[in-house]
Structure 1
Amino acid sequence: MNINDYINSGVLELYVAGQLSEKESKEVYDLMLKHPEVLKEVLEIEAALVKLTASVAPKKDIDFNTIKGRLNTNSETKVISLNRPKTKWFNYTGWAAAVILAGGLIWTINQKSNLEDQIQIVNTEKDFLEIQMETSKTDLAETKNLLNIIRDKSIINIPLEGQAAAPGAYANVYWDKNDDTVYLDLQGLPEPPEGKVYQVWSLTLNPLTPTSLGTIDDFIQDDNKIFKLKNANQSQAFGITLEPAGGSKSPTLEQLYTLGALASI
């Protein structure tokens, strides 16, 4: 996924406006956690909306004395008959007060809305910072655990070399036979095309028998490119092929990207 193209697609504006489905919103949320530039763009969009809201609010308070002065332009004192119907002055002052009250309410509401939006942005930034810190702690713990595993003397390391379909590709398999687990370092594989996934195979060589260990469905989303699969087979080699989404029953040899055998074979 090209993050710049995603940012420019308009999806983030729809996310801020609350127009995405729950699934789409979750995708944006996950990308914000993984890509700081996406989070920054969302915060900038929210800030722009706050400024837009502020721009429609009245810039100045309505001056009551100005309204009163315009309504009472005649400075000469007049005698008002007690029998005369009430002057429209009272109507005018009531109208002016209503205008002032309405203007004040609009300004107050907008100011309150602006403040709430700013608080929401601060809270959002704080929440994401806390999530990122917690995620970093978790990632660090997982990384330390992984390093301890692959450095264990009982772990079998099998380098996988690039094949005809991708000569520059490479990968590493770390096989823990004690708990039937393989750890795959796939940093050396290119991003698979849309609609394709990598599939990992356990191989016995005589006769040649491939057994699928599963597909790597979240290859693009995983930044570390390290994956864990179960392997209870008596493996003599491992291979990785490019297959249609969902995987294949047998490996497509024309799309064999990497292959490697145990050193004792």
Structure 2
Amino acid sequence: MEEVKAYIESGILELYVLGQLNAQESSEVEAMANKHPEVSAELAAIELALEAYALENAIAPSNALEDKILAQFTTTAPVTTSAPEPKVVPLYEGQKDGTVRTLRYALIACSILLVLSLGALFSAHKDLSQANEQIATLSLDKEKFASTVSKLEFDKSGMENRIAMTETDEWATVKLAGVKDSPKAKMLVYWNKKDKSILINYVAMDLPKTDQAHEYQLWALVDGKPVSLGVFSSTDNAKEAVKQMETIEKAQAFAVTIEPMGGSQNPTMEKMVVMGGVTI
């Protein structure tokens, strides 16, 4: 019902009655009228209102304009020397001039009404366009607000996890620092001492940006050999603030490299961004 109400209030029915729509738009109005009795009733009401307005606001033309219009309803034949002068016969013989005059007033009033209506509809269309622009702006602002709220919730979840990790002896925190090509990079890896599970916290990392064809891969150094603990995306694409990686029984160090999507069997050493030794 709200959709039908909005359609009626859009001003398109008035444009239809005045014949200002193209064939496709007119077909859409007729389809809506056939589907919704409210639309059909509104069309009928608009037509009656326009007719009543035209009659109530009829403006008498000036004498000169009236004579010019009435002259078009009489015909005369050219005068020749070989034929008698023709008789001028009124178009509506037997009727008073008032009948023709009333009809002319109505036609002139309709023309004026059409001009006024077009102006009003143009103004309404302009106002409607401005309203649509405001709605689009509000929608964009709503999306930005929702994105901000989502980011705050993401950061809140990550901070709560960091606090929880510092308040228990069950988890060991391994700090990974940037290497030569990425000195400002940093990251924390949480290693459970009991079940050997690995967690990473997006809020506790600052890694170089990757392109759409690459992602991060976490490695553990076990007896001098790298073991993959899985891949993870950038912070912008992360769905949760905390992500669980593959478990590892023991490790001497952890490192992160940038690899093609899906990861690599062996780390690309020149793409290493952070590394940290295990002290537990």
Normalised-by-shorter TM-score class? 0.5 to 0.7
Residues 1-265 of structure 1 correspond to what in structure 2 (within 5 A)?
Answer: 72-74=61-63, 82-84=95-97, 86-87=100-101, 88-115=104-131, 117-118=133-134, 121-122=137-138, 125=141, 129=145, 132-133=148-149, 136-137=152-153, 139-178=155-194, 180-184=197-201, 187-192=205-210, 195-205=213-223, 208-221=224-237, 227-236=242-251, 237-264=253-280
Q: Which residue of 1 aligns with 2:30?
A: none
Cα shift at 1:160: 2.1
Structure 1 residues 195 and 126: alpha-carbon distance in aligned structure 2, compared to 1, 3 A threshold = closer
Structure 1 residues 188 and 96: alpha-carbon distance in aligned structure 2, compared to 1, 3 A threshold = closer
Identity %: 22
Of 239-248 and 140-149, deviating more is 140-149
Structure 1 residues 95 and 133: alpha-carbon distance in aligned structure 2, compared to 1, 3 A threshold = same
**8 Å contact kept, 1:150–1:174:** no
User: Please, what is the CA RMSD of the aligned residues?
Assistant: 4.0
**8 Å contact kept, 1:200–1:215:** yes
Structure 1 residues 76 and 167: alpha-carbon distance in aligned structure 2, compared to 1, 3 A threshold = closer
Cα shift at 1:77: 10
Structure 1 residues 153 and 246: alpha-carbon distance in aligned structure 2, compared to 1, 3 A threshold = same
Summarize deviations over 1:152-209 as a string: whole Å, max 9, x none: 232212122333443454332222344513224663432235633221112212xx23
Consecutive unaligned residues of structure 1, counting only runs of 5 or more, are 1-63
Count of residues paired in the alignment: 194
Summarize deviations over 1:69-124 as a string: whole Å, max 9, x none: 8x83449999x995447244432222111222233233334434534553564466
Consecutive unaligned residues of structure 2, counting only runs of 5 or more, are 1-53, 71-89
CA–CA distance in structure 2, aligned partners of residues 161 and 132 of structure 1: 29
Cα shift at 1:145: 3.5
Aligned residue identity for 2:246: N
CA–CA distance in structure 2, aligned partners of residues 141 and 188 of structure 1: 17
Summarize deviations over 1:119-167 as a string: whole Å, max 9, x none: 5644664575466446635642452233212442322121223334434
Cα shift at 1:230: 2.2
**Matched residue SS, 2:160:** helix
**8 Å contact kept, 2:189–2:198:** no
CA–CA distance in structure 2, aligned partners of residues 164 and 130 of structure 1: 38
Name which one, 1 or 2, has greater alpha-carbon Rg: 2
Structure 1 residues 107 and 178: alpha-carbon distance in aligned structure 2, compared to 1, 3 A threshold = farther
CA–CA distance in structure 1, aligned partners of residues 156 and 138 of structure 2: 27
Superposition TM-score, scaled by structure 1 size: 0.56
